[in-house]
Amino acid sequence: MSKIDWDKIKVIVLDRDGVINHDSDEYIKSPEEWIPIAGSLPAIAKLNQRFKVAIATNQSGIARGFYDEPILHAMHDKMDALLKEYDGHIDHIEYCPHHPDDGCSCRKPETRMLEHIAAKFSANPQEIVFVGDSSSDYQCAQNFGCPFVLLLTGKGLKTLNKLAGKDLLVEKSLAMLVESID
Protein backbone atom coordinates (compact mmCIF):
# COMPACT_ATOMS: atom_id res chain seq x y z
CA MET A 1 0.00 0.00 0.00
CA SER A 2 1.19 3.47 -0.68
CA LYS A 3 2.42 5.09 2.46
CA ILE A 4 0.02 7.22 4.49
CA ASP A 5 0.89 10.92 4.50
CA TRP A 6 0.57 11.38 8.25
CA ASP A 7 0.94 15.17 7.92
CA LYS A 8 -2.49 15.27 6.24
CA ILE A 9 -4.23 13.16 8.88
CA LYS A 10 -6.45 14.86 11.49
CA VAL A 11 -8.19 11.90 13.11
CA ILE A 12 -7.18 8.35 14.04
CA VAL A 13 -10.21 6.09 14.44
CA LEU A 14 -9.62 2.93 16.44
CA ASP A 15 -11.72 -0.17 16.67
CA ARG A 16 -11.92 -1.09 20.38
CA ASP A 17 -11.91 -4.85 20.99
CA GLY A 18 -8.75 -6.40 19.59
CA VAL A 19 -7.06 -3.03 19.01
CA ILE A 20 -7.11 -1.26 22.40
CA ASN A 21 -8.21 -4.12 24.65
CA HIS A 22 -8.12 -7.90 24.45
CA ASP A 23 -11.05 -9.40 22.55
CA SER A 24 -13.04 -12.52 23.34
CA ASP A 25 -15.34 -14.73 21.29
CA GLU A 26 -17.51 -14.67 24.42
CA TYR A 27 -17.70 -10.83 24.26
CA ILE A 28 -16.27 -8.31 26.69
CA LYS A 29 -19.19 -8.02 29.12
CA SER A 30 -17.89 -6.05 32.11
CA PRO A 31 -15.23 -3.55 33.19
CA GLU A 32 -13.38 -6.47 34.81
CA GLU A 33 -13.16 -8.22 31.42
CA TRP A 34 -11.95 -5.03 29.73
CA ILE A 35 -8.16 -5.54 29.77
CA PRO A 36 -5.88 -3.31 27.68
CA ILE A 37 -3.46 -4.84 25.19
CA ALA A 38 0.12 -4.20 26.32
CA GLY A 39 1.33 -0.87 24.96
CA SER A 40 -2.05 0.30 23.62
CA LEU A 41 -2.72 2.95 26.24
CA PRO A 42 0.67 4.71 26.03
CA ALA A 43 0.30 4.49 22.23
CA ILE A 44 -3.01 6.36 22.43
CA ALA A 45 -1.40 9.00 24.65
CA LYS A 46 1.28 9.48 22.01
CA LEU A 47 -1.36 9.74 19.27
CA ASN A 48 -3.11 12.43 21.35
CA GLN A 49 -0.08 14.69 20.89
CA ARG A 50 -0.69 14.89 17.14
CA PHE A 51 -4.21 13.71 16.25
CA LYS A 52 -7.78 13.55 17.46
CA VAL A 53 -8.43 9.97 18.57
CA ALA A 54 -11.86 8.39 18.22
CA ILE A 55 -13.31 4.91 18.61
CA ALA A 56 -15.80 3.20 16.28
CA THR A 57 -16.93 -0.09 17.78
CA ASN A 58 -19.67 -2.65 17.11
CA GLN A 59 -21.18 -3.63 20.45
CA SER A 60 -23.84 -6.20 19.54
CA GLY A 61 -23.47 -7.69 23.03
CA ILE A 62 -26.02 -5.02 24.05
CA ALA A 63 -28.66 -6.29 21.57
CA ARG A 64 -27.78 -9.87 22.52
CA GLY A 65 -28.50 -9.10 26.19
CA PHE A 66 -24.96 -9.83 27.42
CA TYR A 67 -24.61 -6.34 28.95
CA ASP A 68 -26.39 -3.00 28.80
CA GLU A 69 -25.38 0.54 27.89
CA PRO A 70 -24.55 1.55 31.48
CA ILE A 71 -22.09 -1.40 31.62
CA LEU A 72 -20.61 -0.32 28.25
CA HIS A 73 -20.14 3.19 29.68
CA ALA A 74 -18.51 1.68 32.78
CA MET A 75 -16.04 -0.14 30.51
CA HIS A 76 -15.27 3.15 28.77
CA ASP A 77 -14.90 4.88 32.15
CA LYS A 78 -12.30 2.26 33.08
CA MET A 79 -10.50 2.86 29.79
CA ASP A 80 -10.55 6.63 30.40
CA ALA A 81 -9.19 6.22 33.93
CA LEU A 82 -6.37 3.95 32.74
CA LEU A 83 -5.55 6.33 29.87
CA LYS A 84 -5.24 9.23 32.31
CA GLU A 85 -2.30 7.41 33.91
CA TYR A 86 -0.46 8.01 30.60
CA ASP A 87 -1.88 11.54 30.07
CA GLY A 88 -4.01 10.07 27.28
CA HIS A 89 -7.67 10.35 26.34
CA ILE A 90 -10.25 9.43 23.72
CA ASP A 91 -11.75 12.47 22.00
CA HIS A 92 -14.95 10.74 20.89
CA ILE A 93 -16.61 7.30 20.96
CA GLU A 94 -19.16 5.99 18.48
CA TYR A 95 -20.71 2.57 19.04
CA CYS A 96 -23.35 0.44 17.40
CA PRO A 97 -25.54 -1.39 19.95
CA HIS A 98 -27.50 -3.30 17.31
CA HIS A 99 -27.63 -6.98 16.44
CA PRO A 100 -26.05 -7.94 13.08
CA ASP A 101 -29.51 -8.94 11.79
CA ASP A 102 -31.06 -5.54 12.63
CA GLY A 103 -30.00 -3.98 9.32
CA CYS A 104 -28.91 -0.69 10.86
CA SER A 105 -26.71 1.82 9.05
CA CYS A 106 -24.21 2.21 11.89
CA ARG A 107 -22.87 -1.33 12.27
CA LYS A 108 -19.53 -1.77 10.54
CA PRO A 109 -19.01 -2.33 7.61
CA GLU A 110 -21.64 0.43 7.20
CA THR A 111 -20.17 3.91 7.55
CA ARG A 112 -22.44 5.93 9.83
CA MET A 113 -20.00 5.86 12.79
CA LEU A 114 -17.18 7.16 10.58
CA GLU A 115 -19.50 9.78 9.10
CA HIS A 116 -20.34 11.05 12.61
CA ILE A 117 -16.67 11.15 13.59
CA ALA A 118 -15.73 12.99 10.39
CA ALA A 119 -18.49 15.55 10.97
CA LYS A 120 -17.48 16.04 14.62
CA PHE A 121 -13.90 16.89 13.67
CA SER A 122 -14.63 18.59 10.32
CA ALA A 123 -12.51 16.00 8.54
CA ASN A 124 -12.90 14.45 5.13
CA PRO A 125 -12.21 10.72 4.60
CA GLN A 126 -8.65 11.37 3.38
CA GLU A 127 -7.88 13.09 6.72
CA ILE A 128 -8.91 10.01 8.73
CA VAL A 129 -7.09 6.72 9.27
CA PHE A 130 -9.11 3.76 10.53
CA VAL A 131 -7.15 1.20 12.56
CA GLY A 132 -8.77 -2.18 13.09
CA ASP A 133 -8.37 -5.93 13.31
CA SER A 134 -11.38 -7.29 11.40
CA SER A 135 -12.74 -7.62 7.88
CA SER A 136 -15.68 -5.40 8.83
CA ASP A 137 -13.22 -2.67 9.91
CA TYR A 138 -11.40 -2.97 6.58
CA GLN A 139 -14.63 -2.94 4.59
CA CYS A 140 -15.94 0.04 6.57
CA ALA A 141 -12.80 2.03 5.72
CA GLN A 142 -13.12 0.98 2.06
CA ASN A 143 -16.79 2.00 2.00
CA PHE A 144 -15.97 5.36 3.61
CA GLY A 145 -12.92 6.02 1.45
CA CYS A 146 -10.32 6.46 4.19
CA PRO A 147 -6.94 4.77 4.68
CA PHE A 148 -6.93 1.60 6.79
CA VAL A 149 -4.30 -0.08 8.93
CA LEU A 150 -4.76 -3.74 9.90
CA LEU A 151 -3.34 -4.66 13.29
CA LEU A 152 -2.34 -8.27 13.96
CA THR A 153 -3.70 -8.12 17.51
CA GLY A 154 -7.21 -9.43 18.23
CA LYS A 155 -8.63 -11.04 15.09
CA GLY A 156 -5.89 -9.50 12.94
CA LEU A 157 -4.08 -12.70 11.93
CA LYS A 158 -7.35 -14.35 10.82
CA THR A 159 -8.30 -11.16 9.01
CA LEU A 160 -4.93 -11.01 7.24
CA ASN A 161 -5.61 -14.49 5.84
CA LYS A 162 -9.15 -13.50 4.79
CA LEU A 163 -7.85 -10.39 3.03
CA ALA A 164 -4.92 -12.13 1.34
CA GLY A 165 -4.12 -10.37 -1.91
CA LYS A 166 -5.56 -7.02 -0.80
CA ASP A 167 -3.27 -4.00 -0.77
CA LEU A 168 -2.97 -3.60 3.02
CA LEU A 169 -0.91 -1.61 5.46
CA VAL A 170 -0.28 -4.09 8.31
CA GLU A 171 1.28 -3.51 11.75
CA LYS A 172 1.89 -5.91 14.61
CA SER A 173 0.15 -3.77 17.27
CA LEU A 174 -1.09 -0.27 18.02
CA ALA A 175 2.18 0.44 19.84
CA MET A 176 4.20 -0.65 16.79
CA LEU A 177 2.02 1.47 14.49
CA VAL A 178 2.57 4.55 16.61
CA GLU A 179 6.32 3.96 16.58
CA SER A 180 6.24 3.76 12.76
CA ILE A 181 4.41 7.07 12.22
CA ASP A 182 6.80 9.69 10.90
Q: What share of the chain is helix, strand, coil (3-state, %, to 5)?
A: 40, 15, 45
Residue 77 placed within a domain? yes
Q: Strands, DSSP E only, in the chain? A: 11-14, 52-58, 92-96, 128-132, 148-151, 169-171
Residue 1 placed within a domain? no
Give the chain's domain count. Answer: 1
Range of the domain at 40: 6-168+175-180
Interval 115-172: pLDDT, tens: 999 999 999 999 999 999 999 999 999 999 999 999 999 999 999 999 998 989 999 9
Catalytic residue numbers read 15, 17
- Secondary structure class of 75 (helix, strand, coil): helix
Say whether pLDDT at 1 is over 50. no
Read off the pTM. Answer: 0.97
Query: Is 18 within 8 Å of 154 (Cβ atoms)?
Result: yes
H or E stretch covering 88: none
Interval 47-63: pLDDT, tens: 999 999 999 999 999 99
Give the CATH number for residue 89.
3.40.50.1000
Residue 131 placed within a domain? yes
Residue 157 placed within a domain? yes
Residue 122 placed within a domain? yes
Q: What is the pLDDT of residue 50?
A: 97
Arithmetic mean of pLDDT over the chain:
96
Share of the chain above pLDDT 70, in %: 99
